[in-house]
Amino acid sequence: MDKRLSSERVNMDYNSLKQHASSNSVDSDSKSNSINSKLGVETMVPNDTSVTFTYLAGEKCQDVKNECTYICPYSGPSRGILTITNYRLHFRSQPATEKDPIVVVDVPLGVVSRVEKVGGASSRGENSYGIDIFCKDMRNLRFAHKQENHSRRTVFEKLHMYAFPLAYNEKLFAFSYTETFAEDGWCVYEPVAELRRMGVNNDTWRITRINESYGICDSYPAVWAVPKSTSDDLLKQACLFRSRNRLPVLSWIHPKSLATITRCSQPLVGVGGKRSPEDEHYINSIMEANAQSHKLSIMDARPSANAVANKAKGGGYESELTYQNVEIIFLDIHNIHVMRESLRKLKEICFPANDDQKWLSAVESTLWLKHIKCVLAGAVRIVDKIEIMSTSVVVHCSDGWDRTAQLTALAMLLLDPYYRTMKGFEVLIEKEWLSFGHKFQQRIGHGDNHHSDADRSPVFLQFLDCVWQVSKQFPHALEFNEHFLITILDHLYSCRFGTFLCNTERERVQEDLKHKTVSLWSFTNASPEQYRNPLYGGRNQCIETVLKPVASMRHIRLWKGLFCRWNPSMRAQDPVYQRTRELLALQEQLQKQVDEFRYENQSSTRQSARLSSPMH
Amino acid sequence: MAEIKTKSKKNFTSYLDSEALNGSEQAILNPKLLSGELEVARARNVLLFSPTSKIKDDNGIAGVLVVTNFKLSFLSFDGSHTSSIYQENIFLGKNDVTLSNIDYIYQMNDRKKRLVAPNIKILSKLDVLHIICKNFRVLKFGFKRSEVGKGKHIAEALAKFAFPNRHNLLFSYNYKENYYNTLRNISMFNKKMDWSHELLRCGATGWRVLSREREDNIPERTLPMHYVIPKTVTEIEYVKLAESFNRSRAAIWVYSLENASLVRMAELIPTITDTKQENKMLELVRKCDPMMRQPCIMELNKCLPSIQEVQASFLKLRELCTPDCTRQFMVQDVRFYTLLDKSCWLFYVSLCLKYSNDAAMKMRGRETVVLQENEGRDMCCVISSLTQILLDPYYRTLNGLQSLIQKDWVSLGHPFSDRLGHVINSDTTEQSPLFLLFLDCVWQLIQQFPEEFEYSETFLTTIWDSTFLPLFDTFQFNSEHDRQYAHKNEHLILRPVWDWGEQFSDKDIVLFTNPLYKKPAEQSRKSMAFLPPTAIPLPGLHQTGSRITMHVTQMATVTNQLPEDRFLEPKTTIRDLELWTQCYFRWQPLLEIKNGGYPQIDLYNRIILSNISKLQQALQSHDFDDLPTPTNESENVINGVGPMPSISSFFPFSGNDTNSNELADILTLSYDLLTDGSIIDGLSLSQIPD
């Protein structure tokens, strides 16, 4: 024990940020910081050298306070220096003795959900007067201030100002961040190229730019693929029968059977059971675009009761009577409010800790895993329809931007090995989540202080959790590792990159994010090695293989590497990967030697062959 | 695809209906009988159902069901020519279970479901037998298509033979096949030499071996002929003192680290009210330490579950892993984690790991630890052996684990026969799978320290399965005394389970090793001293002296990057534990992940190891002809590993679907090194000559 601690400390002295990356800071930052300083980007470092973190390009110090106390829920209070910049909150303890470990807290302010003062003028006792910070990434932080220092007020104000810039009509940090990367992540996804990859245009599907200026549907992308047999006029009519004009367009097409996944929002059936001949015709064309099947499955992500209840609000679902040869299946996934509540409960038991003996029951009672199971099970049903029955599937929920995105993206990951590569996964997120208008701004609440906003919900987090579950069941199937998923999540909140800002493609174009901010993929693609899964066997071994995870609770596990990562006593879940990495490196070195020998041998035999040829 | 399915089903049904089925086809299906094995009942046209499928479905596999005095054997028509690769036991077919493995048998018809047991009436109209095995296997047989009364016939045979009420009714006593023990690298701890070696290996100076003269001293029956006691006392004094303890089991040494010893001791017999004798005994233990430090006493009864609690927990866990229909599966699934919590299984695993870790920490702090328990032969075995695995890398090797089980479980008298329920009568109701609890704890350690263990989870699961195989004596007796008695008086042939070549072929034995194992660069003094120079390696488990190994050992001496003390400090809270899915889920087809699960990791690393071994050999011999040429570096080969054969998450306990030839090749090809799987591990990357 002692040994471990002291070695940790030594390491920390060399590079405190890196050492703590796993426990207290957003992992990936340390890496880019070092890149940063290498590139000679100007950074503002305060005079006090004990504050050891490297500023990002565009990051500026706003406040430094000595004698702050961070109250760690695991290891207790430690005193040190608190720094607030326009990007982050940074705390570094100044240990009283050599033996005490150095505690570092490094949080991008985008992660902050709520800031509150605790204790007032009458507070007695040590550490009872300070600030509580509630984070979107499962942490709560408490900093105690000395009343007599009057340090709390400015800290509180600065925190507010930079965590919630929208409340002050200021811009998010992403607009100040100026780091440049070799590759421009904004170019990762090119809609037409992606459709071409899937073979569109083809005999039955065509690309349309009818929504080029977002005039038909303002929450949809500019480029769609639709059945070739449908005219643009029909699209204009048909979309009127779908909530927010989100009519069915192509997400994915099977390379052989041409069975498709299309996505949309609910039909505007209402209590009276309204019909739209255009919509019925359009749905029929989707079915007919697939010659392999004379049926079409509509997967309504909602519980059937919710779908029925939506009729009262003018929505609803397709009737099997009015839509010919259509079967409708409800996938029983609950709405954003249920998911938010579930995550809140999960946070309660994961942070800081819970009664160990009832741990499993406590996890189950949050229903988080049950929701994950439902999403996975839904995706597997879609996969079965496509793969086994060669039947096309239309997926929708109410608006078709939350549960629908979860299902289509997950089903595509299971069906198509391309989305299991790092680049492919980035494309998948760009396409199914960003371009189809998952409302990231609302769901995450970037930079606004309405922490109890009912529009916030961990829908995207849930999707990444499902991907993690897939990676656990198929350890060799994904090119990227858990760290990649966590990095995406960290920057979902951090507001350092433009990727997850705004609600729709239209807004992103208006804001000109491509030019004014940096893409998260520029950052991740600059150092792909750290995100690689060493067990990934390449596309060859799963090119035909559709992944079929078992959606049983017996296989669904809590993602401890994410939800419990702030607990220093949690063990790392995957020590096997390190070993595999070592073996691969060894293999590579040996191969190199063999190749060298071979090369030498070849050249020498060629020589000797020429010399001795008459003898043969 | 769906069409093909229904088609084949139709064919199958029509085939079933044909006369051929009732006639000669089934008559020639005979189980392979061992010497001394007798067929006692047979039924034709029996349907084998998957564990959760509805009985009414016509989706069973048709075949012949045979009961012998050794096993329940199901032979299907199509089963013989499957090409898939799975663990094949030489003594058991794919659909066979030994009678020892059978725990509960339910007889069912449209209206009733009741247990089959010696005193319970068998239904005259019996449609289904539902069998639950001790190793979580579930078998469901339907008799609707077989002759009237055949279900009852089978049930009666099982009631009679599956629940023997005397030990000598076990098949072990009938099996007269000769056996010549050639095992040399596993210490059986039944000879004085074994204990002396162990004392030497541990550098324990304050202790000596006690060898008893008389065999039939009743109170000492649970003890082996040889065990280790304090040097500070005469044999006579020790034996006298020991009489005050349950079963005369006073302080017995099992392990030492520096001068700290691990000691097992029973409690004082209940009629003794003062602790004078115990204090005397502990004083003797204290004097074994040259520093005379006070030993620490861990009263296991107070901190760990009783055997009854472990059994209750086991039954709940098994219920959760053996649903009898899809509906029950779903019902359990909804509350799976709560039900798992309520079983307390992981809680008990967590406690065992915690107290073993405590004991290990104390010993590292130079404190002697005395494990005290009622008779000192249940939880004492669990905690003692786990503590040693935490402290000593030798016990993380294949030979080490087997020797450890011999020492702490077999030799020191864990009542295997009672705990595993080999014999069913009123005296022996103390069934409790403490041994499984131990194996589960070891499995948790492998999860946390995958590089530290030479053996794989498949090895642990196979050991558990082997406890129900009466052909091997290792897990059949309550004590060494009982074993020797049966050997001498009933001519039972002793055949240690550790001779794995008796049960499995090389392709299965290969999977007992862990490809992630990092073998210590220099074998520690402890394990080196352990192997006698004449040791004959167990087939497939070690290849000392082979060229590769020599080569590696030479290189390995250059540097040693591994820490000198390889103590393990496991996380022990429930939130850090996992459920041992291979062992518990493998009989449930609903839970099988096709092309997924841990076997993928295992196989992938085996392939890399195999590549490394080939490259090393080529570099040594300068012969590169057998290596694939670098020109085929296409997109297909990533990381130098080509396409992997498809295996499921239950591999090797269920077959792979395709490419079985390829898989067989990989397993046989990597066999050389698997055995020494870990060869490279002594090497650090920096050691490779440039």
Q: What residues does each domain of chain A span?
A: 2-163, 185-563
pLDDT at B25: 59
Confidence of residue B537 (pLDDT cuts 50, 70, 90): very low
Query: Is the peptide bond prior to A201 cis by the omega test (within 30 degrees of 0)?
Result: yes
Q: How far is B515 from chain A (nearest CA, A)?
A: 9
Contact A473 B598 (CB under 8 A): no
Of A359, A370, A549, the CB nearest to B574: A359
Contact A552 B642 (CB under 8 A): no
Confidence of residue B668 (pLDDT cuts 50, 70, 90): low
pLDDT at B178 over 80: yes
pLDDT at B28: 73
CB of B595 less than 8 A from some CB of A: yes
List the one residue out of B672, B519, B551, B690 whose CA is nearest residue B616. Answer: B551
Q: How many CB pairs under 8 A join A and B?
A: 187
List the one residue out of A24, A218, A110, A54 whose CA is nearest residue A517. Answer: A110
pLDDT at A448 over 90: yes
Stretch among B51-55, B206-210, B324-328 having the lowest mean pLDDT: B51-55
Indicate the average pLDDT of chain B: 83
Find all residues with CB under 8 Å of B601, minimum gap 6, and list them.
Answer: A475, A476, A535, A576, A580
Q: Which residue has the higher pLDDT, B546 or A534?
A: A534
pLDDT at B679 over 90: no
Helices first, then strands: H and E counts in chain A:
21, 14
> Looking at this protein, which amino acid is placed at residue A177?
Y
Which residue in B has a C-alpha nearest to residue A387's C-alpha?
A: B1
pLDDT at B534: 36
Average pLDDT over residues A424-432: 98
Stretch among A566-580, B29-43, B667-681 having the lowest mean pLDDT: B667-681
The whole-angstrom separation of Cα A564 and Cα A555 is 19
pLDDT at A151: 87
Chain B from 159 to 218: CB within 8 A of any A CB: none
The whole-angstrom separation of Cα A177 and Cα A591 is 43
Enumerate the residues of chain A whose CB falls inside 8 A of the CB of residue B576.
570-571
pLDDT at B686: 36
Q: How far is B409 from chain A (nearest CA, A)?
A: 29
CB of B450 less than 8 A from some CB of A: yes
Confidence of residue A120 (pLDDT cuts 50, 70, 90): confident
| ipTM of the modeled complex | 0.89
Contact B639 A360 (CB under 8 A): no
Residue among A550, A560, A569, A570 with most chain B CBs within 10 A, to mutate: A550
Pairing relationship of beta strands B369-373 and B260-266 according to DSSP bridges? parallel
B238-290: per-residue pLDDT in tens? 999 999 999 999 999 999 998 999 999 999 999 999 999 999 999 999 999 99
List the one residue out of A413, A433, A385, A527 whose CA is nearest residue A474. Answer: A413
The whole-angstrom separation of Cα B211 and Cα A525 is 69
Q: Are B182 and B502 in contact, with CB atoms under 8 Å apart?
A: no
Confidence of residue A606 (pLDDT cuts 50, 70, 90): low
pLDDT at B622: 79
Contact B334 A360 (CB under 8 A): no
The fraction of chain A above a pLDDT of 70, given in percent, is 87
Average pLDDT over residues B370-395: 97
Q: Which residue has the higher pLDDT, B214 or A456?
A: A456
Chain B from 408 to 447: CB within 8 A of any A CB: none
Confidence of residue A594 (pLDDT cuts 50, 70, 90): confident
B321-377: per-residue pLDDT in tens? 999 899 999 999 999 999 999 999 999 999 999 999 999 999 999 999 999 999 999
The whole-angstrom separation of Cα B454 and Cα A108 is 44
CB of B655 less than 8 A from some CB of A: no
Q: How far is A76 from chain B (nearest CA, A)?
A: 21
pLDDT at B212 over 60: yes
Q: Which residue has the higher pLDDT, B111 or B469?
A: B469
Enumerate the residues of chain A whose CB falls inside 8 A of the CB of residue B342.
361
Q: Which of A4-13, A59-68, A420-429 has the highest mean predicted lDDT (pLDDT)?
A: A420-429
Exposed, middle or buried: residue B300 (CB in 10 Å: 0-12, 13-18, 19+)?
buried
Element housing A354 (H / E): none
Average pLDDT over residues A250-269: 97
Q: Are A58 and A180 in contact, with CB atoms under 8 Å apart?
A: no
Enumerate the residues of chain B whose CB falls inside 8 A of the CB of residue A535.
600-601, 604
Enumerate the residues of chain A whose CB falls inside 8 A of the CB of residue B598.
475
Q: Are B45 and B110 in contact, with CB atoms under 8 Å apart?
A: no
What topology is assigned to A2-163 in CATH? PH-domain like (2.30.29)
Confidence of residue B551 (pLDDT cuts 50, 70, 90): very low
pLDDT at B674: 44
**Token pair 């940096």 is at which residue?**
A518
List the one residue out of B327, B668, B292 whose CA is nearest residue B506. Answer: B668
Of B2, B448, B683, the CB nearest to A571: B448
Contact B624 A548 (CB under 8 A): no
> Looking at this protein, which amino acid is placed at residue B658?
T
Contact B450 A369 (CB under 8 A): no
List the one residue out of B537, B181, B254, B527 whose CA is nearest residue B411. Answer: B254
Q: Which residue has the higher pLDDT, A542 or A284?
A: A284
Contact A549 B636 (CB under 8 A): no
**Token pair 């058991």 is at which residue?**
B92
Residue among B353, B456, B548, B575 with most chain A CBs within 10 A, to mutate: B575
The whole-angstrom separation of Cα A356 and Cα B404 is 31
Q: How far is A256 from chain B (nearest CA, A)?
A: 15
List the one residue out of A73, A178, A159 whose CA is nearest residue A110. Answer: A159
* Helix/strand/coil for A282: helix
Average pLDDT over residues A170-197: 97
Q: Which residues of A are annotated as a binding site for substrate?
A: 310-313, 335-336, 397-403
Confidence of residue A12 (pLDDT cuts 50, 70, 90): very low
Q: How far is A258 from chain B (nearest CA, A)?
A: 16
* Helix/strand/coil for A608: helix
Contact B575 A356 (CB under 8 A): yes
- Here the tokens at position B536 are 């004959």
Q: Are B422 and B473 in contact, with CB atoms under 8 Å apart?
A: no
pLDDT at B18: 40
Catalytic residues of A: 397
Q: How far is A304 from chain B (nearest CA, A)?
A: 19
pLDDT at A351: 78
Find all residues with CB under 8 Å of B13, minimum gap 6, and list them.
Answer: B58
pLDDT at B82: 55
pLDDT at A386 over 60: yes
Q: Are B251 and B284 in contact, with CB atoms under 8 Å apart?
A: yes
The 10 Å Cβ neighbour count of residue B565 is 12
Contact B643 A550 (CB under 8 A): no
Residue among B1, B330, B336 with most chain A CBs within 10 A, to mutate: B336
pLDDT at A48 over 90: no
Element housing A496 (H / E): none
In degrees and rounded to multiples of 5, residue B68 shows phi and psi of -120, 180
**Token pair 């590792």 is at which residue?**
A481
pLDDT at B140: 94
List the one residue out of B375, B313, B397, B320 whose CA is nearest residue B349. Answer: B313
Contact B688 A590 (CB under 8 A): yes
- Here the tokens at position A616 are 């043969």
Q: Which residue has the higher pLDDT, A426 or B55?
A: A426
Chain B from 603 to 622: CB within 8 A of any A CB: 604-605, 608-609, 611-612, 615-616, 618-619, 622
Tell me the CB-side half-sphere exposure of residue B185, using CA atoms within 13 A: 21
Which residue in B has a C-alpha nearest to residue A546's C-alpha?
A: B595
Exposed, middle or buried: residue A4 (CB in 10 Å: 0-12, 13-18, 19+)?
exposed
Query: Is the peptide bond prior to B470 cis by the omega test (within 30 degrees of 0)?
Result: no
β-pair partners for B210: B227
pLDDT at B444 over 90: yes
Contact A590 B646 (CB under 8 A): no
Element housing A144 (H / E): strand A140-144
Q: Are A36 and A57 in contact, with CB atoms under 8 Å apart?
A: yes
Indicate the average pLDDT of chain A: 88
Q: Are A289 and A260 in contact, with CB atoms under 8 Å apart?
A: yes
List the one residue out of B428, B413, B349 whose CA is nearest residue B169. Answer: B428
Confidence of residue A50 (pLDDT cuts 50, 70, 90): low
The whole-angstrom separation of Cα B539 and Cα A371 is 50
Q: Which residue has the higher pLDDT, B533 or B611?
A: B611
Q: How far is B651 from chain A (nearest CA, A)?
A: 14
The fraction of chain B above a pLDDT of 90, given in percent, is 63
Average pLDDT over residues B439-446: 98
Average pLDDT over residues A206-226: 97
The whole-angstrom separation of Cα A43 and Cα A306 is 53
pLDDT at A530: 92
The whole-angstrom separation of Cα A264 and Cα A226 is 12
Q: Are A24 and A566 in contact, with CB atoms under 8 Å apart?
A: yes
* Helix/strand/coil for B219: helix
Chain B from 59 to 78: CB within 8 A of any A CB: none
Average pLDDT over residues A274-301: 96
Confidence of residue B550 (pLDDT cuts 50, 70, 90): very low
pLDDT at A537: 73
Q: Is B373 left (phi over 0), alpha (psi -120 to 50) or beta?
A: beta
CB of B336 less than 8 A from some CB of A: yes
End-to-end CA distance of chain B: 54
Confidence of residue B24 (pLDDT cuts 50, 70, 90): low
β-pair partners for B140: B49, B130
Q: Are B326 and B590 in contact, with CB atoms under 8 Å apart?
A: yes
pLDDT at A499: 98
Which residue in B has a C-alpha nearest to residue A545's C-alpha?
A: B595
The whole-angstrom separation of Cα B599 and Cα B607 is 12
Enumerate the residues of chain A whose CB falls inside 8 A of the CB of residue B624.
594, 597-598, 601
pLDDT at B36: 93
Enumerate the residues of chain A whose CB falls inside 8 A of the CB of residue B680.
583, 586
Q: How far is A352 from chain B (nearest CA, A)?
A: 13
Q: What is the DSSP string of A381-420?
A: HHHHHHHTS--EEEEE-SSSSSHHHHHHHHHHHHH-GGGG
Q: Which residue has the higher pLDDT, B253 or A357?
A: B253
Find all residues with CB under 8 Å of A178, minimum gap 6, and list them.
Answer: A57, A58, A518
**Please, what are the domains in chain B?**
18-164 (2.30.29.30), 192-556 (no CATH)
The whole-angstrom separation of Cα A373 and Cα B466 is 36
CB of B545 less than 8 A from some CB of A: no
End-to-end CA distance of chain A: 71
B65-110: per-residue pLDDT in tens? 999 999 999 998 765 445 677 899 999 998 999 999 999 999 988 8
B458-504: per-residue pLDDT in tens? 999 999 999 999 999 999 999 999 999 999 999 999 999 999 999 99
Of B574, B600, B609, the CB nearest to A360: B574
Query: Is the peptide bond prior to A248 cis by the omega test (within 30 degrees of 0)?
Result: no
List the one residue out of A465, A455, A451 whose CA is nearest residue A335. Answer: A455
